[in-house]
Chains A and B, each alone.
Chain A
């Protein structure tokens, strides 16, 4: 198998894998398998999957470095876009199943439930990043500017965890908030560590 054929095969397998949670949830929804409160179950699972994909997408760069496996970079944008995909489904589940497309109610909801405001902000940032990932726009922005803009994904990580934490606050039910929070914090810290290291190296060279 040529290396490009192998790449295409990996890509296809990865796409299928990324679709799996959505397909599974669709199956559960269609077969009445989501329990007593299906809207809530769907909303929460999609939120969980958005966070999981965010963790995976942000893990690409550190893994690439630690494993000395530069090919991984090829899948980063794709995983980022799946993060956006699940975040969008999560947001749609809120709009359609939780709020029943009651837009006035949704607008009124934002100040009343600040964690929804934070989640919406995170989704809007992801939307900008997803749109600017269209090849034409990537070219137009230029690599450096594109990269700078896409550092906003760190803000998404912070807003996402804040959204989750706030949703659970007051019920003191933080088990999985801690899990996602520490994974994302570690992934962000790795970047801070590199930035410091790079700066030191540059200073030494001078």
Chain B
């Protein structure tokens, strides 16, 4: 256990204060009954805005018990989280993905897991949805462009999937490859990046319980513009590290090239940990704007090292020069 103070991003309850899962599930059951009985269920008010979204299936989940998985900050409005997106396969402007992503076909969908593993396999999306219990996690998402959101994701730790394929001892990195189909993705014409979009993590980062394989958000399956049917969410790194609409996961011995690193090596490092001390030529990174928070005059927030998850992930980078390995 790491020793941590209350200033390291957010306050963690003592384990004695955490509601036990059985009690939690009972409460959910009660809420469901209450809602069915027409009572105003305050506990589910959070999701009210996420409910009954056209064409999106609702997802049930349990509250995650992973340390650091539940930040207590106010959620970004669902409408902002699904209308303000960077997903260049669907266009360069923030509003383009919501407009263009409906052309994405998310069924059938398979994910190939290959490379330095004992049991390489291709998983169907239905299989992946059942692989491990769905957890709800409220993460800060920090974009390299200097804005952030607070999003309730639904999914499970990536490590659960990696355990299925048994990584070999020589595997040191994990590469993620996003779908690149120009029939479904009009943005591929732009040649902005070297498609398909690829990203990567060191194996120990990928195995960290906070690294999330997400299938849903705000109580529903993922909207297409947010990376349906499954995406990665690595909360202590800038948003672009978290590949969307993943089709291949490959374990390698050498550091994989990543799409943004190839496009501008000096600006988007392999690690891309959120770090207020490493400025970017266009975003100073010391502060961030929280989307959906009070409009034009809202004050910017101070950016925290590792996006506030230092207590959980700081040890992964012990002894590393984070300015060099940015």
Any chain A CB within 8 A of the CB of B10? no
Any chain B CB within 8 A of the CB of A39? yes
Minimum C-beta distance from B262 to chain A (A)? 11
1/0 contact string of A155-181 vs chain B (CB within 8 Å): 000000000001101111101000000
1/0 contact string of A100-118 vs chain B (CB within 8 Å): 1000010011001111000
**Bound complex: CA A35 to CA B79 (Å):** 10
Set of chain A residues within 8 Å of B299, measured between Cβ atoms: 100
Contact A105 B286, CB 8 Å, known A36-B292, A38-B296, A170-B281: yes
Set of chain B residues within 8 Å of A187, measured between Cβ atoms: none
Return the contact of B192 from the options A37, A109, A173 (Cβ within 8 A).
A173
Return the contact of A175 from the options B92, B263, B268, B282 (Cβ within 8 A).
B92
Set of chain B residues within 8 Å of A105, measured between Cβ atoms: 284, 286-287
Find out whether the CB atom of B284 lies under 8 angstroms from the CB atom of A109.
yes
Interface-central residue, B95, B287, B296, by most chain A CB under 10 Å? B296
Find out whether the CB atom of A167 lies under 8 angstroms from the CB atom of B296.
no
Set of chain A residues within 8 Å of B271, measured between Cβ atoms: none
Contact A115 B282, CB 8 Å, known A37-B147, A97-B296, A175-B92: yes
Find out whether the CB atom of A112 lies under 8 angstroms from the CB atom of B296.
no
* Chain A, residue nearest B263 (CB): A172
Contact A171 B192, CB 8 Å, known A32-B295, A35-B84: yes
Report the tally of A-B residue pairs with Cβ distances under 8 A. 70
Find out whether the CB atom of B282 lies under 8 angstroms from the CB atom of A170.
yes
Find out whether the CB atom of A170 lies under 8 angstroms from the CB atom of B284.
no
Contact A42 B282, CB 8 Å, known A35-B95, A36-B80, A172-B263: no
Find out whether the CB atom of A37 lies under 8 angstroms from the CB atom of B264.
no
Any chain A CB within 8 A of the CB of B267? yes
Contact A97 B84, CB 8 Å, known A115-B282, A170-B281, A172-B193: no
Find out whether the CB atom of A112 lies under 8 angstroms from the CB atom of B94.
no
Minimum C-beta distance from A157 to chain B (A)? 21
Return the contact of A108 from the options B92, B282, B284, B300 (Cβ within 8 A).
B284
**Bound complex: CA A31 to CA B295 (Å):** 11
* Chain B, residue nearest A42 (CB): B296
Set of chain A residues within 8 Å of B292, measured between Cβ atoms: 36
Return the contact of A112 from the options B147, B263, B284 (Cβ within 8 A).
B284
Q: Number of residues in B with C-beta < 8 Å to the partner?
A: 31
Find out whether the CB atom of A173 lies under 8 angstroms from the CB atom of B92.
yes
1/0 contact string of B289-326 vs chain A (CB within 8 Å): 10110011111100000000000000000000000000
* Chain B, residue nearest A173 (CB): B92
Any chain A CB within 8 A of the CB of B283? yes
Set of chain B residues within 8 Å of A40, measured between Cβ atoms: 147, 289
Find out whether the CB atom of A100 lies under 8 angstroms from the CB atom of B263.
no
Q: Number of residues in A with C-beta < 8 Å to the partner?
A: 28
Set of chain A residues within 8 Å of B58, measured between Cβ atoms: none
**Bound complex: CA A72 to CA B249 (Å):** 63
Any chain B CB within 8 A of the CB of A29? yes
Return the contact of B83 from the options A35, A38, A171 (Cβ within 8 A).
A35
Set of chain A residues within 8 Å of B295, measured between Cβ atoms: 32, 38
**Bound complex: CA A113 to CA B283 (Å):** 7
**Bound complex: CA A6 to CA B296 (Å):** 41
**Bound complex: CA A170 to CA B147 (Å):** 18
Return the contact of B281 from the options A99, A166, A172 (Cβ within 8 A).
A166
**Bound complex: CA A112 to CA B287 (Å):** 13
Within 100-146 of A, Cβ neighbours of B (below 8 Å) are at: 100, 105, 108-109, 112-115
Set of chain B residues within 8 Å of A173, measured between Cβ atoms: 92, 192
Any chain A CB within 8 A of the CB of B196? no
**Bound complex: CA A12 to CA B96 (Å):** 38
Find out whether the CB atom of B192 lies under 8 angstroms from the CB atom of A169.
no
**Bound complex: CA A98 to CA B246 (Å):** 34
Within 74-104 of B, Cβ neighbours of A (below 8 Å) are at: 79-80, 83-84, 92, 94-95
Find out whether the CB atom of B92 lies under 8 angstroms from the CB atom of A37.
no
Residues of B within 8 A of A (CB): 79-80, 83-84, 92, 94-95, 147, 191-193, 263-264, 267-268, 279, 281-284, 286-287, 289, 291-292, 295-300
Other than the given A37-B291, A115-B282, A166-B282, 18 more pairs (CB < 8 A) read A35-B84, A35-B94, A36-B94, A37-B94, A37-B147, A37-B289, A38-B296, A39-B296, A97-B296, A99-B300, A100-B300, A113-B281, A113-B283, A115-B281, A167-B282, A169-B281, A170-B281, A172-B192
A–B pairs, 27, beta carbons within 8 Å: A36-B80, A36-B84, A36-B94, A37-B94, A37-B291, A39-B289, A40-B147, A40-B289, A42-B296, A97-B297, A105-B284, A108-B284, A112-B279, A112-B284, A113-B283, A113-B284, A114-B281, A115-B281, A169-B264, A170-B267, A170-B281, A170-B282, A171-B264, A172-B191, A172-B192, A172-B193, A173-B192
Which 3 pairs show the lowest CB-CB distances between chains A and B? Answer: A36-B84, A170-B264, A36-B80
